[in-house]
Chain A
Amino acid sequence: MSKVVALYQTEKAVIEGVKNFEDAAATILYNKHKDYCIRFMARMYDDAETIQDIYQDAVIVLIENIRHKNLILENTSIQTYLNSICRNQVLSRFKLSKKMKNITNDDIEDSFDEKIDDWLDDLNSLKSERLIIISEELLKMKDDGGKCYDLLALFYFESRTMDYIAQKLEYTNADNAKNQKSRCQKRLKEQVFKRIQ
């Protein structure tokens, strides 16, 4: 067994890794539960591509819930939780579709009974003009190179401390990182408001 897998042997370790924005943890999470969920959904719906798409969304929901909503799975496993998200998504998406197979309660085994937050908030399409502008300006920052994008993401998205950011982005100390963060934020805001006005 590889060391990467060995690092995430327990569910707790995987959840901790996901919480810490570790890419490998997300990969392990995705790979580990895929087969079961896909088989589980295949009993309800035929289209393999759609099922895969649903599974990917479900994993993203789970990852977001762990990261931003402090999801704690005490009495249930990740697999069960994911099954429930997948089941709900399949049922909701294809309730009226003829493609949906007839399923019995026995088919929906091993699922989580409590109400779960299983939908991605409506962020997928950045509809508002402001969101589009912020997104474009951020991506411009990213394309320009430099550390601004990563710095802002670490601070505003991952809620990292300045010490962590300084170490990660190789600033000499937290104060420098903080000053740089302010400069980046100011630059972004100026660009955004200039365009909005």
Chain B
Amino acid sequence: MLKLTTQHIDQIRNYFLAETKEESNALQRNIAPYFLSGFLIELKELFINHPLDEERLRSIGKSMGAEEHINSLKEIQQSYYEHLARLYVIGIINEDLEKLLNVNNKIFNEEIEYYSNLSKVFRTHEREKLKKKFQLIEGQSKIHDIEITDAFKQIERDRLKSIFKNSNIEEEVPVAALVPNDSTRTLGSKNRNIWRPIAIAASIVGFIVLAGYLFILREEKIENSRIAKNNEFESALFGSKNNLTENQKIYEVREQRLLGFVDNEKADSLTVEVRDVKSMSGLIEFKKAILLNEFDNVKENDLAAKNIDRILDSLNSLQNYLLSIFNTYTYDPNKKSLILNISSTDSIFGIYRYSIKGNKFLISVNLNNKFYNIKQGSIIYPLIEVLNEKDLDELKKIEDWYKIINNPLNCVNSENQFYEYYKNMDGRLGPVAGIWKLDNYIEAWDDKKIISVDSIIDISSWVIFPIFYNKYKVCDIDKGFQGEKAEKDFIAFFEKVSDKFVYSCQFLYANCSVTSEVSFQNKNHFEIEYFLPEPLLRLQPTDNKNIRIKWRFKWQRVYPKPKDF
């Protein structure tokens, strides 16, 4: 008699939860013996027509030697109803569902009610989200309107100021002087009558302008006092701007409007997620400043430092500085999301402005805006949605960079990309970076003796690429290494420790035990070998339990060639 195993139970579950007829047929073929024996048909009939008949379920299970799986069958029954109820709610009607709808199956009816409700709730939440989004868009347009109005006001003020300056000069000239004398007059004596009203009108205009200007002066005084208060606040937080030396580059960044302030009396730390940062000009500038400014600084200030260590050192110190501001921060380029963990002692409000002082990153605040509470885990949407093309291009470039240096699973996509990168970096990638051909083979060892050697025919190209702070990633570009889609089952690194490079690797299930020291300087060949770790050996089907497998790698540099190096 056939006896159900756990694997069969999984197959039966998949069969009942199949989305399509094709999928169901394919799964049915997998479990053909059970299907042919009528077990599945009987089970399905029970699920549809007798949902509460537990005795019959036991009897069917018993007939298939599945006594110990009765609970699993019950779970499958429940999942089957859930699955069909979901299909019903999203409007996909299949054969089983039709049958179930035609019988009065209490459990299934309850499932339908539950999933309809769930669906309604999600729709309501989605509506609320859309509504909020639209209101945000409206709010944004209003802000833009205000900004435009302010801009016009400023233009008007400047214009009035300039008129006033001119009228100052004219004030010293008697009104009569505005009237041309006979010698300059060309239009005859009658024109004297024309100039007089103009002169009177001009003096009236002058008076209005003067009054307007006095009013503006008063407004500006109020505005300046407000700005002074803000500066005082900023200075208290971050130190005075006047402390900057002339040589220090200041990246003034557009104001980034974020909603909210931190109200985290209860929480020890606060996580704020800034979403859709494709639109965060602040973040772009921030990254640009970190990545480009730091490199520029190295180039300008330390021309002798043509090595990656210096650059990565700078990046690392900046990273530490950032970490001292936020407990942690992570940028997810896929979600375009910046996650800031702000310590409980900080309070951050309203409008943020990012700026870079030398190699320091600052956030300043503006208190003159509306505030919203941000609770733990709040999500903030920047108000500015669409950037201009230049910004997006810039962002794209920086993101590519950022992805590479921040994610040890990432690498360059192709040899060509590496050539270009290498060229742009003007040889500053250090002695390890390059394209290497790898020849590898394995030896099977039994009781300390080699019993066989298998050469792995596939000789592939690998790029050794700097990722972060003295660390290099080994990337297999022959296997279509594609940025984020990095193979995650094996990664290897070279790390510089003192003057030596240390190779380490990691499989999905185990670490390599190897920590070979490798000398790269002016060497174009090297070899590494290690025994496969125990967990991986267990995955290799072998009859001989004492067998050990040693993996040997032979590397040969193909780019840059020794003469280029």
Chain A residues with CB under 8 Å of chain B are 1-5, 23-24, 26-27, 30-31, 52, 56, 59-60, 63-64, 68, 120-121, 123-124, 126, 128, 130-131, 134-135, 138-139, 143, 145, 152-153, 156-157, 159, 182, 185, 189, 192
Contacts and interface: CB of A to CB of B under 8 A. Distances in A.
A2 B392 CA distance: 8
Given A2-B392, A3-B389, A156-B118, A27 B123 contact: no
Given A5-B386, A143-B377, A156-B115, A126 B131 contact: no
Contact of B121 (A60, A134, A145): A134
B86 interface: yes
A187 to B, nearest CB: 13
A63 B127 CA distance: 10
A56 B126 CA distance: 13
Contacts of A131: 117, 120-121, 124
Contacts of A138: 121-122, 125
A24 B271 CA distance: 25
Interface in B340-356: none
9 contacts: A2-B392, A3-B389, A5-B386, A64-B123, A130-B117, A131-B120, A139-B125, A156-B89, A156-B122
A102 to B, nearest CB: 29
A152 B246 CA distance: 55
B140 to A, nearest CB: 10
B119 A157 contact: yes
B276 interface: yes
A56 B376 CA distance: 29
Interface residues of B, number: 39
Contacts of A63: 130
Among A3, A30, A120, A152, find the residue whose CB has the most chain B CB atoms closer than 10 A.
A3
Given A52-B138, A124-B124, 17 more contacts: A1-B389, A2-B388, A3-B389, A4-B386, A30-B137, A56-B130, A56-B131, A63-B130, A123-B120, A123-B123, A130-B113, A134-B117, A134-B121, A143-B375, A156-B119, A157-B119, A185-B82
Contacts of B389: 1-3
B89 to A, nearest CB: 8
A97 to B, nearest CB: 23
Interface string B81-92: 010001001110
Contacts of A23: 133, 276
Nearest to A135: B121
B339 to A, nearest CB: 12
A60 B123 CA distance: 10
A156 B111 CA distance: 13
A26 B126 contact: no
Given A2-B389, A23-B133, A52-B138, A124 B121 contact: no
Contacts of B376: 143, 145
Contact of B117 (A3, A27, A128): A128
Interface in B364-390: 375-377, 385-389
Contacts of B82: 185
A27 B118 contact: no
Nearest to B110: A193
Contacts of A64: 123, 127
Given A27-B133, A124-B127, A145-B377, A2 B386 contact: yes
Interface string B1-33: 000000000000000000000000000000000
A24 B278 CA distance: 11
B391 to A, nearest CB: 9
Contacts of A128: 117
Contact of B124 (A5, A26, A126, A156): A126
A59 B130 CA distance: 9
Given A30-B137, A59-B134, A123-B123, A159 B90 contact: yes
A174 B174 CA distance: 89
A110 B122 CA distance: 34
B86 A156 contact: yes
A9 B278 CA distance: 19
Contact of B118 (A24, A30, A134): A134
A123 B117 CA distance: 10
A68 B89 CA distance: 10
Contacts of B113: 130
B288 to A, nearest CB: 18
A24 B275 CA distance: 12
A157 B276 contact: no
